[in-house]
Amino acid sequence: MNILVFGKDGQLGKAFAEQLKAGQFNQDTIRFVGRADCDLANTQHVSDLLQSFQPQVIINAAAYTAVDKAESESELAFAINAKAPETMASYAASQDVTLLHFSTDYVFDGTKQGSYTELDQANPLGVYGKSKEAGERAIVQAFVKGAGQYAILRTSWVYGNGANFIRTILRLAKERAELRVIDDQFGIPTSAQWLAELGSQLASSLANKQFASGIYHAVPVGEINWYGLAQLAVQSAIEAGATLKASSGAISPIPASQYPLPAPRPMNSRLATNKLQSELERLDLVSKLPHWNTPWDKQVTAYVRQLLAD
C-alpha cells in the first residue's frame, strides 16, 4: 500500500514519520514530502506527484499555519489550505483511495456556550480559518460523487516538534521574570504525537473501508485557557529541573482584548469528541490507542519533560 504524507517538516508531519516508521506499514511504500519536494501552492505539482506515486493513502499534515500573516496573504493561504486539499480529494475520490486531512477549531467563531460538535455551523473569523473551512468543504464535495474514503480531523492548540505556544512560553520564562497570558480564550492543547497515533490508526481503518468518512473532532480530554496552559508548562519545567526566571506564580492573567493580534481568534475553541469516540468504539479501536483517554494536562507535562530531556 503506497502511503503519501504531505508536511514532513511540520509538527504533525514529524509525528507521523515517527508513528509510521514504528508501525505495521511497509517502509518501502511510504513517502514523506516537504515543501522542497512538492509546493502545495502549485496545483500542478500536487497533481503530478499524485499521478506519479499513485498513493492508496494520502495523509495531508501540511498547511499554511501562519494565522496572522494569512490576513495579508489570503491568496496563498487559500491555495495551500483549500486548493491543494481539493486536488488531493479529487484524486482520491476518482481513484477510490483514502484521504486523511486535518483542520482546525478556527473554523468556528467561538461564540457558542459549551463544546462545538461536528453539526455546529462553521463561521471562521479570520483568513486562516476561512481557508481551512474552504478546504473542508472542497474535500466533502469531492467525495459526494466519487468513490474513496476520507476523514477530516479538526484539532486545536497543537504542540510537537516545532514552533508552538508551550515552547514560546518556556523560552519567555527563561528570559523574563514576569509574563502576561490571555485567560479568556478556552481550548484543548493537542499533542502532535497523540494525533499522529490516532491518525495512523484511522488511515488503516479508512483504507480497509471500515471507518465512516466524514468530519471528526480530535482532541484529548479536558479544557483550559492559555493562562492555565502557560502555568502548567512553567510548573512542569521547574519540577523537571529547569532554571527559569519566571515561576508559574509570576504569570498574570490578561483578557484577549489587552493582546491585540492581526487575526481574530475564537474565544471558545472547545471541541466535543463524542462522534469520534462512538466510531472508535464501534470499530473496537480504542484498545489500539493507548493514549486516547490520557487528559491534556498529563500529555503536556510529559511533553515538557521530554523537551527538557532532549
Ligand X SMILES: NC(=O)c1ccc[n+]([C@@H]2O[C@H](COP(=O)([O-])OP(=O)(O)OC[C@H]3O[C@@H](n4cnc5c(N)ncnc54)[C@H](OP(=O)(O)O)[C@@H]3O)[C@@H](O)[C@H]2O)c1
The site that binds ligand X (CB under 6 A) totals a number of residues, namely 26
Closer Cβ to ligand X, 238 or 263, answer by number: 263
- Cross-strand pairs, 59: 5, 100
Interaction between residue 155 and ligand X (CB under 6 A) = yes
Distance from C-alpha of 162 to C-alpha of 140, rounded to nearest angstrom: 29
Minimum CB separation of residue 303 from ligand X in Å reads 13
Interface residue with ligand X among 3, 4, 63, 234 (CB under 6 A) is 63
Interaction between residue 87 and ligand X (CB under 6 A) = no
| Among 51-59, 60-68, 210-218, 291-299, the segment contacting ligand X (CB under 6 A) | 60-68
- Of the residues 64, 128, 150, 227, only one is catalytic, namely 128
Q: Which residue is nearest to ligand X (CB)?
A: 10
- Phi/psi for 33 (5° steps) reads -120, 145
Interaction between residue 280 and ligand X (CB under 6 A) = no
Closer Cβ to ligand X, 45 or 210, answer by number: 45
Distance from C-alpha of 140 to C-alpha of 118, rounded to nearest angstrom: 13
Interface residue with ligand X among 57, 88, 152, 158 (CB under 6 A) is 158
Radius of gyration of the chain (CA): 19
Per DSSP, the three-state class of 62 is coil
Interface residue with ligand X among 7, 55, 199, 266 (CB under 6 A) is 7
Interface residue with ligand X among 32, 64, 116, 211 (CB under 6 A) is 64
Interaction between residue 11 and ligand X (CB under 6 A) = yes
Interaction between residue 166 and ligand X (CB under 6 A) = no
Per DSSP, the three-state class of 167 is helix
| Among 11-19, 118-126, 201-209, 301-309, the segment contacting ligand X (CB under 6 A) | 11-19
Active site residue 116: no
Instruction: Map residues 38-57 to x or -, x wherever contact with ligand X holds by CB under 6 A.
Output: -xxx----------------
Of residues 186-215, those binding ligand X (CB under 6 A) = none
Interaction between residue 102 and ligand X (CB under 6 A) = yes
Closer Cβ to ligand X, 72 or 252, answer by number: 72
41-79 CB burial, b ≥16 within 10 A, e <16: beeebbeebbeeeebbbbbbbbbbbebeebbebeebbbb
> Count H helices, E strands: the chain?
10, 12
Residue identified by cell 514504528 is: 22
Q: Which amino acid is at 274?
A: N
Distance from C-alpha of 12 to C-alpha of 106, rounded to nearest angstrom: 17
Distance from C-alpha of 267 to C-alpha of 302, rounded to nearest angstrom: 27
DSSP state string for 25-48: S-GGGEEEE-TTT--TT-HHHHHH
Closer Cβ to ligand X, 105 or 223, answer by number: 105
Residues annotated catalytic, as ranges: 128
- Residues engaged in binding ligand X (CB under 6 A): 7, 9-13, 34-35, 39-41, 61-65, 80, 102, 104-105, 132, 155-158, 162
